[in-house]
Every structure is written in structure tokens, then in C-alpha cells.
Amino acid sequence: MARLVWFRNDLRLADNPALHAAVESGEDLLLLYILDERAGAANRWWLHHSLEALSKDIAGRGGHLLLRRGEPVEIISALVKAHGVNAVHAARAYEPFWREADRALDVALKALDCGLHRYLSTSLFAPERITTKAGGLFGVFTPFSKACMEAGVPEDALPAPRTLKSIKAKSDALKDWALLPTKPDWAGGMRAAWQPGEAGARARLKAFLAGPVKHYATARDVPGVEGTSRLSPHAHFGEISPRFVWHQAKADGDGKGVETFLKELLWREFSINLLWQHPDIRQKPIRGEFEDFPWNERQGHLAAWQNGRTGIPIVDAGMRELWQTGWMHNRVRMICASYLVKHLLVPWQKGEQWFWDCLCEADEAANGASWQWVAGCGADAAPYFRVFNPVLQGRKFDAEGAYVRRFVPELAKLPEAYLHVPWEAPEEILAKAGMKLGRDYPRPLVLPADGRQAALEAYANLKR
């Protein structure tokens, strides 16, 4: 008899409950990963390297990672029949695609007299566990986070297995999945910025807790410094256990930085909770009245935003960081999203889709929930007329311009007074900086004040 471990967004060996349970059985193992065809381009780049790292880690313990492409039910059912598998072990998944696959697999395995065992592995809490006093699910973050704190995170931590006694079945070759870009090879910035895999995740957490976490409460909003954990891609792929992150952070102390970081981990949980309640969160607004929102997208505006050519420096810096590194600073994500939705009046779903293709993590729960939060149509107590002023945001959080100068180098020689408003700079200042507006850097698609007014009018029309 044998056990099958189905890896999904839990690409690690340490603190992996599904793997641990299968190893504890003492039976031979089939260690399987099935390609998720829905992944965006940057996500696929990360996945290639994460699977490569996982495969090496497994091989180092005497095992073999089996790669397959196709329908999960068909693939797993065939392996169960061929290798006498009596149980399938997997992490719980909350995306609609995987929930549907799990339901179908459960039915198929019962017909084969094989059990499906799923484990809490990719989140701190099961979505159905954190409920209101009336037994319902939360729609507002603050009471949700308080309920999580009251529930407490178990301190269990499972070690990585020392050896893996796995069956070497026929497998796809990772290179044949063609997950990496070729012509053009746009992944140079990502290669320089990241180390996918379990070892990279642990190194990233260690470096964060060694210093930046102490100033996290304020530094996390400053994109020009290393003030955030940058753990989101590692967390999405499950290269590190969320409860390991939680308890390692708590062990670091009770300072304001740690407290704020734990709160951000609970925002991730809240997004999972919202996806559980709203499976169509990437397409359909949680607040139904926004289905009739009067968008007014103009030709070329979406493309300019995607390419970091809006004429608003902090927005363009963020969009270029996204393209170069597959990641964007969280404060800047809010600014960029707000400018697209509120100032350019482009439907939030188009921005969400671009992030889905360009973000290394491309997380269904966090991406959908965050875009709806910015658009004002999600789980948020603030109304639509909260409009980020990108100039004020830039001056506040990138006061010295380190972030803009890095990602928008054509503005690098402008003095601070005009860095976030180059359209206000006199011609002699622009000339001294070696640039001409409209040639070297675009004029704004929409000025902040004009965009805010248009957003408020659109909201007023919706109310009417």
C-alpha cells in the first residue's frame, strides 16, 4: 500500500501537515504536483524555481517529486489504481477552482475505496472557524482580527522529514512545462530580487526579524527603504508555514513593529475569509450596487498605466517596480490601484487582471479583496469617495524621492520640490535636469484634483 501527497500551495517540507501525516504512516509515498494552468506569467516564473527547489530538497532525502499536467481527478485516480494508494493527503485550498476539484476528487476516491485527507496548512485558521457570536462569517476586518487573536494560533510545529521513501513513477520534465520566459527574457529583475524556495523563504524571514521588523510600524509605508518582510510570494506558494512565521515573529518581542506585522498577517487571513464567502471576488463586487458603476475608461489610459507612463511619478514608479521585480510595495499598490480606478475610471477588474499576470504571488484572495477595498466596493467601512492623492502620497512616503528616482530614472535629477510634480517645474529646472516634459517623460493623463472630482461625480451618479 502507498500514500499520495498532493502538493499545491504548500511547497515545503517543514511544518507541512499533509506530508507529515503521510510519512508517519510508514508506507511508501507518491509525492505529486499538478500544474495550475491558471497562473499568470510572473507566477509561472516563480513556480518553476519553487518546484526546482522542492524537487532538490526531496531528492536530498531520498525521494522523488512527480510532476503531472492535466485534470487532478483523472491524474490522481490513475495513480491510486496503479500504485495501490489507500489515502491521499493534501493541504486545504480555498480558491473556487481547487474547492471544486476537491469535491470531485472526494467522490472519485470513495469509489476507489481511498480516503482524501486535507489539512490546515496554507492559513492560520480554517475560514469556518472564525465566526461572529451569531455564528456567521465576518465582513469587517477589525472584529475579525480580534476574534483571531482570541482564538489563538496553535504552537505546533512539525519538523521536515529526514528521509522520504517515495515511489519513482513517470513524471513530466519541469523544463517541458515552459514556465520560464524565453524571447524576450523579461525575468532578469526577478532573478536579481528573489530566491524562490523554502530556503529562500526562511532566509527572508530571518533577515526581516533581525532588523526591519523593529521599525515595521512606520517603515512599511516607505517604499524607498527595506521596511517590509517581502514574504508575500513565499507565503502564497507555501514555501514557509504561516504559523511558523507567526510564532517566529512573536518570539522576536512585543514591540509596535511586531504587533503591526501580526496584524498584516491577519489581513491575509481576512482575504481568505472573504474569498471563502465570495468565490467570484476577482470579478464581482461584494457590494452589489457597484455592478452599475458608471466607468468612463478612455482609450490608451489602461496601457499607459500598465507601462508606467501615466505622468504621475509615484504611480509610474510602482508600475515599473511591478514589471521589473514581479512585486510592488504595498503602500504603492494602493496608490497605483486608486489612480487607475478613481482618477482614470477604469474598471477595477482590469487592474486586478494585470496584477494577476505580473505579480509573483498572484494570490486570488489577497488580489481580489485588495482591489475591491481600493475600489470601495468590497469589505470596507469607508465609502467610494476615499481617493488617494498620488502627489500627497508621494511627498509623504517618498519624501526624498529614493523610490521614484530608482524606478523612474528620467526624473532622477529633478530637485525634491518638483520630483512628484514635474509638470509644475519651470522650463529651466527641467532643462537643468536634462529632460523635456512630453518627450522624456509624459504629462499627466489626469491631474490629481481633476481625477478626484470625476470620481466624486461618478459616485454621486451611482447613488442617484
Catalytic residue among 71, 295, 296, 461: 295
Of residues 52, 74, 186, 330, which has the active-site annotation? 330
Strand bridging mode 85-91 / 115-119:
parallel
Residue 384 confidence (pLDDT): 64
Of residues 52, 267, 410, 423, which has the active-site annotation? 267
Mean pLDDT value of segment 398-416: 97
Please check whether residue 404 is in contact with residue 398, taking contact to mean a CB–CB distance below 8 angstroms. Answer: yes
Q: Which long-range contacts (CB under 8 A, 24 or more apart) does 416-422 make?
A: 419/313, 419/394, 420/313, 420/314, 420/390, 420/391, 420/394, 420/395, 421/391, 422/311, 422/313
Q: Which of 45, 354, 371, 373 is catalytic?
A: 371
Task: Specify whether 321 is catalytic.
Answer: no
What the block records as the C-alpha cell of 203 is 532566509
Residue range 252-256: mean pLDDT, rounded: 81
Same domain (yes/no): 332, 387: yes
**Do 427 and 308 fall within a single domain?**
yes
Q: Are residues 106 and 239 both part of a single domain?
A: no
Q: What are the strands, taking DSSP E only, across 97-255?
A: 115-119
Q: What is the pLDDT of residue 452?
A: 85
Q: What is the mean pLDDT of residues 249-257?
A: 86
- Write out the residue range of the structural domain in which residue 57 sits: 2-121
Q: Domain check: are 211 and 89 in the same one? A: no
Last residue of a domain, one of 277, 309, 343: 277
The size of the chain, in residues, is: 464
Determine the pLDDT at residue 404. Answer: 98
Q: What is the mean pLDDT of the chain?
A: 95
If asked whether residues 401 and 299 sit together in one domain, one would say yes
Please tell me which residue, 372 or 461, carries the higher pLDDT value: 372
One domain for residues 229 and 304: no
**What's the rounded mean pLDDT across residues 376-399?**
86
- pLDDT band at residue 392 using 50, 70 and 90 as cut-offs: very high
d(CA 165, CA 113): 23
267 is catalytic: yes
CATH number at residue 75: 3.40.50.620
Residue 160 lies in a domain: no
Domain closes at, from 97, 121, 145: 121
**DSSP character at residue 116:** E
> 382 and 244 in one domain?
no
Q: Are 200 and 194 in contact (CB under 8 A)?
A: yes
Q: Which among 222, 248, 277 is the end of a domain?
A: 277
Residue 177 lies in a domain: no
Enumerate residues 6+ apart whose C-beta is below 8 A from 181.
Answer: 41, 45, 187
Q: Is residue 340 part of a domain?
A: yes
C-alpha 139/C-alpha 17 separation (Å) is 29
* Model pLDDT, residue 464: 63
Q: Are strands 28-34 and 115-119 parallel, antiparallel or unpaired?
A: unpaired
pLDDT band, very low/low/confident/very high, at 385 (cuts 50, 70, 90): low
pLDDT in tens, 260-283: 999 999 999 999 999 999 999 999
Co-location of 447 and 373 in the same domain: yes
Contact residues for 45 (Cβ-Cβ < 8 A; gap 6+): 179, 180, 181, 187, 190, 326, 360
Residue 16 in contact with residue 56, Cβ under 8 Å?
no
Tell me what pLDDT residue 382 has: 64
> What's the CATH number where 236 sits?
1.25.40.80
> Quick one: average pLDDT of 125-152?
94
Active site residue 296: no
Confidence band, pLDDT 50/70/90 cuts, at residue 155: confident
What's residue 143's pLDDT? Answer: 95
Are 329 and 267 members of one domain?
no
Residue 46 is among the residues annotated as catalytic for this protein: no
Residue 461 confidence class, pLDDT cut points 50, 70, 90: confident
The answer to whether 348 is a known catalytic residue is yes
Are 27 and 129 in a shared domain? no
Q: Are residues 80 and 110 in the same domain?
A: yes
Whether 73 is in a domain gets the answer yes
305 labelled catalytic: no
**What pLDDT is stored for residue 386 in this prediction?**
78
- Residues 27, 264, 410, 423: which is the catalytic one? 264
Residue 455 has pLDDT above 70, yes or no: yes
Answer whether residue 165 is part of any domain. no
Per-residue pLDDT at 462 exceeds 80: no
In a shared domain, residues 311 and 241: no
Check 348, 354, 356, 373 and give the catalytic one: 348
Tell whether pTM > 0.75: yes
